[in-house]
Amino acid sequence: MAPIVFIKGTFRLLMFFVCLVFLMLPLAVLKAGGLSNLSEPYLNDKFTVAFLSKDLADHKTLRQVDKLADELNKVVASARRLGIPWEQMVHVRIWEDSSFPVSDLWRSCGLEPDETQFAIMKKQIEELYAISVVSELQMLEQKLKERYPFLLYFPSPSCLSSTEVQLYEGDKFKEEQEFINSFIETLKETINKPLRDVQNHYFFTSESSYSSANCNIWVGRESRDYNLHRDYDVIIHEVGHHLFSQLSSEAVKKNLPERPFANTTLHYLFKPLLAFNEFFADYTAVANGRNMTISVLSPDFSLPEEFKRSFSRKRTLSQFMSDADDAGFQKYFFEECHNILNPTRYFIWRLRLDLDGETADKLVLSAARNWISNFVKVDINEYERVEDQYNPGSFLLIDYPSDIASINLRFLKEIQTAASFLDTEQKVIFNRAVEEVYGQ
């Protein structure tokens, strides 16, 4: 019997190690490599966070990055609870200077920039040249941008000709292949160079911003004294743009299934909804944080009060419009896409107070889904389209209403439709807030 017990024991032990190896595999993938400043990038299947600097990361900064990852995980959980799609990863890059080696950018996405990685990239770029349908080409480029979100561009037929894509075969393809090879060689040769020396190949922005094309959020830091905590709301605002982009993509897939839309095309298509996109991003920060104001003011630079986008500040539509009319040359600040929905910000704040946060979240999300899908189903057929010459297949809607009354009342219309799920008592509260903010 002893050998059987031994075999059983050995088998169990073996299975234990097999399971352990499988369990360790994702960890091995995620821990692809630390950064040159000895910080570890945070990676999961929804987002990555990395702190990039030439100097060693100090303990305080590392703790702040961990805290940011915690905050982002809370946003992931609330998006999941509300049923908001999160199909593309988003990459948050806190950068201190532009002197860190660009290999950090690869590792911050869990990619080791070795021969195998470059061979994969070369093959993926070459595949672009075998496609002649613009929309399919854009979708394949999109996949490349998602895999290498830190690169500024890829050699592709569309970057050579913005209006026409042809099949690249024979000698014609050989020429392009040389171009691809030199692109890959440059990336290899410059892999340990500081970002500032290879900016023409790598994507970054100096201000906090979200780029929907490659789902990047860059957060610049002016000095070491700057407290990252102050940026959490702004970073979550940028994540709100990512969620808006995911909702837009969802609506397009559902309502226009016959053609794929890459992120860049979606960006142009949804430009008329930019004010609502800014509102939605602010709301994401407010709903996931503790602040009532999304302040984009840096300490030494002051802008008019209206730029603070305060949810708790009382703003009725009629008062806001009359203030805008009295503002003279500063009327621009009232009509600017970040501020134009300030009365609606107050309306939503009232709903959060008078109903509750969870109901307000559902109402805002449902209003967003209504507006976005009506935009895709109805609006894009009602307004004149102008082809965007720099992005084939994309068009802009000119004449889409963008004045203060139209934008605020359009939101009201969509949220009134969304409010059908409220019970009688909640509807009374909802209508009271409508009257207070949008009534005459």
Binding site for Zn ion (CB under 5 A): 278, 281
- The CB-of-242 to Zn ion minimum distance in angstroms stands at 11
Query: CA–CA separation, 247 vs 258, rounded Å?
Result: 18
* Residue 403 Cα to chain centre, angstroms: 26
- The CB-of-81 to Zn ion minimum distance in angstroms stands at 23
Cβ nearer to Zn ion, comparing 179 with 268: 268
- The CB-of-311 to Zn ion minimum distance in angstroms stands at 15
Query: CA–CA separation, 37 vs 56, rounded Å?
Result: 4
Cβ nearer to Zn ion, comparing 47 with 168: 47
- The CB-of-240 to Zn ion minimum distance in angstroms stands at 8
Which residue number places its CB atom closest to Zn ion? 281
Sign of CA dihedral 347, 353, 355, 357: positive
Cβ nearer to Zn ion, comparing 355 with 364: 364
Partners of 95 in beta bridges: 52, 220
Cβ nearer to Zn ion, comparing 61 with 212: 212
Cβ nearer to Zn ion, comparing 125 with 236: 236
- The CB-of-57 to Zn ion minimum distance in angstroms stands at 27
- The CB-of-434 to Zn ion minimum distance in angstroms stands at 26
Cβ nearer to Zn ion, comparing 165 with 281: 281
Cβ nearer to Zn ion, comparing 233 with 278: 278
- The CB-of-218 to Zn ion minimum distance in angstroms stands at 13
- The CB-of-80 to Zn ion minimum distance in angstroms stands at 23
Cβ nearer to Zn ion, comparing 50 with 281: 281
Cβ count near 149 (within 10 Å): 22
